[in-house]
Structure 1
Amino acid sequence: MPSTRPLRADAARNRALLLAAAADEFAERGLDASVADIARRAGVGKGTVFRHFATKDDLIAAIVLDRINALNAVGEQLLEAADPGTALLEFLTAAARQRQQRDLSFLQEAGELNAEVTQARTKMFRTIHTLLDRAREHGAVRADVTGTDIILLMCAPNYVTSYVSEASPDLWQRYLAIIFDGLRPEGAHPLPQPPPAVS
């Protein structure tokens, strides 16, 4: 695992370049992207990659961790929002926009065994549950929706549009609006199944 000590400015810059280059490379080539190609894209040598990330798996975990932390930071800020319903919608919008900009969902499984990723994901899930609790208490979301429902629905707008060839890059917004309308209490009907027992 990379050191937790503060990085010098040049090392921090190289790390940021590597993560951005690796994310682009993985988005284009999938898990077959090579460390050599990532280093070339970042404008550094392979040795620089391995000074920051001992293995390719560590690099993948760092990308996943950065994305989770960025999304959780948005969620934590929204916990202070005056309108909890709008806050939940803004969080789901941020999640969909992150995936639309660069869909790296296939890296999630590769980062599953990393302890830091697991901890960060658990922290983000707690934030999501709290955002939902606030929205539900405010009457903005139907009472039978759970945090697990929200977690599963986060991927839905982009997943749906992935089946549309040459879709507008903003088409996910249409499906997020449909999904969020389904979360509202107005006109809600009882759900036919309980939520899955996972979080």
Structure 2
Amino acid sequence: MPRADAARNRSLVIDAAAVELAERGIEVSIARIAARAGVAKGTVFNHFPTKEDLIAAIFADQLAALSATGEALLTQPDPERALLEFIIAGAELQAGDRSLCAATARDHPAVRAAADRLADIAERLTAQARQTGAIRPDITGRDIVLLLGAPAVVASPLAGARPDLWRRYLHLILDALRPETARPLPVAAPTSEDFTLASNIHGVGSP
């Protein structure tokens, strides 16, 4: 097969899989993905030996896009606004994709590398906001990464009837990050070692 055709088929598969995963979740079949892409199942496996590899490619790309958004926001002159826009971007991504949390929890090297980069950028944005007093001083970048998925998870039981309900919980979270009424938290923030341990026990990827 000519290289251009192979590249086109790969792109078709990734685009189709991204839509199917977003709409139906991580259990969607390869047959359904292939049908949406207009290719044979064998073509999917030619590019991605396993379904895990296909999922990892899609979500590593999505995490990389979110990292790029965060990196651009590092130059924003208002650190509070920068962190807010980053959180909103991450929450919107997760709210629009039913399978993102499950996919990023898988221990695939491509997803892990993308998640580690995202965590680094989140920490830099969070540090800038902490330094200006815009957020409570005990919040870390890893707290922020975990909170990105919280609005969608909380609102998921009513997502069919109230697709924008997650925004309510997003703004509750944003208010909770502010220092004005902060009280001491009962346990410490998660560390990179915590995520490594969780990955070894449960297959949870490092955010």
Structure 2 equivalent of residue 155 of structure 1: 149
The answer (yes or no) to whether the contact 1:87–1:131 under 8 Å persists in 2 is: yes
Structure 1 equivalent of residue 102 of structure 2: 106
CA distance in 2, matches of 1:31, 1:171: 22
**Aligned residue runs from structure 1 range 1-199, under 5 A:** 10-104=5-99, 105-109=101-105, 111-112=106-107, 114-164=108-158, 166-197=160-191, 198=194
**How far is 1:45 from its partner?**
2.2
CA distance in 2, matches of 1:189, 1:160: 23
Amino acid at match of 1:53: F
**TM-score, normalised with respect to structure 2:** 0.82
What is the SS of the residue equivalent to 2:181? coil
**How far is 1:169 from its partner?**
2.0
The answer (yes or no) to whether the contact 2:126–2:141 under 8 Å persists in 1 is: yes
The answer (yes or no) to whether the contact 1:128–1:147 under 8 Å persists in 2 is: yes
CA distance in 2, matches of 1:146, 1:165: 29
**1:34-69 deviations in Å (ceiling 9; x for gaps):** 222211111122232123212222111112211111
Instruction: Mark the runs of 5 or more structure 1 residues left unpaired by the alignment.
Output: 1-6
How many residues align? The count is 191
**1:139-166 deviations in Å (ceiling 9; x for gaps):** 2111111222212211111111113364
Amino acid at match of 1:175: Y
Change (3 A) 1:168 1:124: same
Change (3 A) 1:8 1:181: farther
Amino acid at match of 2:183: H
**How far is 1:182 from its partner?**
0.8
**How far is 1:132 from its partner?**
0.1
Q: CA RMSD in A?
A: 2.1
The answer (yes or no) to whether the contact 1:85–1:140 under 8 Å persists in 2 is: yes
**TM-score, normalised with respect to structure 1:** 0.85
Amino acid at match of 2:144: I
The answer (yes or no) to whether the contact 2:22–2:96 under 8 Å persists in 1 is: no
**1:110-157 deviations in Å (ceiling 9; x for gaps):** x41x22221111111000000100111122111111222212211111
Amino acid at match of 2:123: H
Instruction: Mark the runs of 5 or more structure 2 residues left unpaired by the alignment.
Output: 196-207
CA distance in 2, matches of 1:36, 1:127: 37
Bigger Cα displacement from structure 2, 148-157 vs 28-37: 28-37
